[in-house]
Amino acid sequence: MLLREACGVFGVFDFGGRPVFPFIYWGLISQNHRGHHSYGFTGLDEDFVSHRSLGIIPPMRHPVIKRLFKRLRGNVGIGHVRYATSGRDTQYWLLRDIQPLVMSDSENKVALAFNGNLVNVKQLRSELRRRGRGSFHSSSDVELLGGVLLCGLRRSDLSSAVEGCMRTIEGAFSVVGLTRGGELFAFRDPLGIKPLCYGCSQDNQMFAVSSESVGLDINDFRYESEVQPGELLVWSKDGMRRETIVECRRRAFCSFEFAYFARPDSILGHGQPVYKIRETFGRNLAREDPDIWRRVDVIVSIPATGDDAAYGLHEESGIPWERAIRRHRYVVDRAFISDQRERETIISKKINVKEAIKGKRIAVVEDSIVRGDTSRKIVKKLRRAGAKEIHMYFTFPRIISPCFYGIDMATFGELIGSQHTEEEIAKLIGADSVHYQSLRNFVRATGMSEDELCLGCLTGKYPTPSAQKLADEMRKRFEAGEIEMGRIYEVA
């Protein structure tokens, strides 16, 4: 099974009536780390105008992009970059599942782009069948969300339709959308599992919604705030409207965003840039292992998500940080690879190790270990380069349980941390020792409290009931020795 990351969304509205396509383009480019499978843009002329394609967004001078500039001339639009965490991954389905998705019934038509994963998929499918929306054209969750939204719009207005989504859908959903009437809207599940924020241009004429704040930065927009969990924002020719649709009783923001997903220069949670938080992760790793300076001569990090933590570890411990591991920058392929052998080759091709570490005892800083493939490969390369001892330091605490909200690590069996102790893991990956940041310090460093984060993969305690039930059932089956299926919860 693949390990893939969440998607990125972006939407813009210009009160000055100017074309917004370039802003969406840059908003998505800045969030390309959130998805390489496919990308799409949807604007509004007389009707919706879309461009969707597989792969990574081409550079600005590419003829496709130049043509799009001409076609997408409206003052409102949305865009999406995707890593498939739900649905199927053959070419056929990847093409069908590209977002934004345009959906309609006899009365309404909407375009939608979303980041997240729905958990009560079966229930939603049968509910939609009952309401006469039983034929599905994609294998992606967004079609279910769109179905619920359209059913709501038939009966009432956008606010009630969004309320219907928030009350019946369990899972993570950060959504941007367009109506045929030219409104831009954005909403976020009541737990706020995935990020979503909005901002405003310097002349106050344009507003943008973005998964991460870097989408605002690149466009020189001012960060205003998060879209709050349970909140709906709407921009139309009448102005901007902000509504609490469902009260947020507790947040459950994805903790993995802090360790891995988000760009280091994004702002998440309560306002600190992610790289600062990652530096603190590194400091914590040093404090939690007071013997580190006796154990280790030099620190190295696995680029790029380990770098900020390595800086923190270096500052706190005083041990030199040697930038001996570098990335082959344009090898971006990992997420496409479903064949295990090919996947391992790609991991190998990404990383280059220089021999400056020969004869040294080294601390390797890495954001996370999921299945152990990356760490195993790197340890091997470091040994070959002559490292004397290798001690692994992970900023993300031990992953013991699957994720149901959009991170593709969906079975117990594939998680190295669900079955093994630190000592065993060290052996399995060929390292001399393994150190995880403690859960307590991890949480504190994020600036959020335990009740504001989703820690499902670290504790086995999930913020929504179906996810909990699924995890409990899966664990039982796993412990009974049954072969696990990937994404059991997805099968209709």
**211 lines the binding site for ligand 5GP (CB under 6 A):** no
**375 lines the binding site for ligand 5GP (CB under 6 A):** yes
**260 lines the binding site for ligand 5GP (CB under 6 A):** yes
* CB-CB contact of 446 with 453 (8 Å): yes
**391 lines the binding site for ligand 5GP (CB under 6 A):** no
Q: How far is the CB of 408 from ligand 5GP (least distance, A)?
A: 6
Which structure tokens are listed for 435? 């150190």
| Nearest CB to ligand 5GP, comparing residues 38 and 179 | 38
Q: Which stretch binds ligand 5GP (CB under 6 A): 154-162, 221-229, 371-379, 474-482?
A: 371-379
**418 lines the binding site for ligand 5GP (CB under 6 A):** no
Distance separating alpha carbons of residues 337 and 140, to the nearest angstrom: 19
| Nearest CB to ligand 5GP, comparing residues 335 and 467 | 335
Distance separating alpha carbons of residues 407 and 419, to the nearest angstrom: 19
Q: How far is the CB of 5 from ligand 5GP (least distance, A)?
A: 4
Distance separating alpha carbons of residues 28 and 36, to the nearest angstrom: 11
Amino acid at 59: P
Q: Residues 279, 322, 367, 452: which binds ligand 5GP (CB under 6 A)? A: 367
Kindly report the number of other CB atoms within 10 A of residue 212's CB atom. Answer: 28
Distance separating alpha carbons of residues 404 and 410, to the nearest angstrom: 7
Marked catalytic residue, from 7, 165, 403, 457? 7
Which structure tokens are listed for 88? 């199927």
**263 lines the binding site for ligand 5GP (CB under 6 A):** no
Distance separating alpha carbons of residues 49 and 244, to the nearest angstrom: 30
**402 lines the binding site for ligand 5GP (CB under 6 A):** no
Please list every residue from 293 through 322 that binds ligand 5GP, using CB under 6 A. 302, 305
Tokens 């739900």 -> residue: 86
| Nearest CB to ligand 5GP, comparing residues 307 and 373 | 373
**335 lines the binding site for ligand 5GP (CB under 6 A):** yes
**3 lines the binding site for ligand 5GP (CB under 6 A):** yes
**372 lines the binding site for ligand 5GP (CB under 6 A):** yes
Distance separating alpha carbons of residues 314 and 134, to the nearest angstrom: 57
* CB-CB contact of 157 with 444 (8 Å): no
Distance separating alpha carbons of residues 401 and 28, to the nearest angstrom: 31
Q: What is the DSSP string of 351-378?
A: EEE-GGGTT-EEEEEES--SSSHHHHHH
* CB-CB contact of 442 with 393 (8 Å): no
At residue 458's C-alpha, the angle toward residues 456 and 461, to 5°, is: 35
**274 lines the binding site for ligand 5GP (CB under 6 A):** no
**360 lines the binding site for ligand 5GP (CB under 6 A):** no
Is position 454 annotated as part of the catalytic site? no
**403 lines the binding site for ligand 5GP (CB under 6 A):** no
Round to the nearest angstrom and report the end-to-end CA distance of the chain. 19
Q: Residues 210, 211, 368, 401: which binds ligand 5GP (CB under 6 A)? A: 368
**365 lines the binding site for ligand 5GP (CB under 6 A):** no
Size of the residue set binding ligand 5GP (CB under 6 A): 19
Kindly report the number of other CB atoms within 10 A of residue 203's CB atom. Answer: 8
Q: How far is the CB of 313 from ligand 5GP (least distance, A)?
A: 16
Question: Which residues would be at the binding site for ligand 5GP (CB under 6 A)?
Answer: 3-5, 260, 302, 305, 334-335, 366-375, 407
What positions carry a catalytic annotation?
7
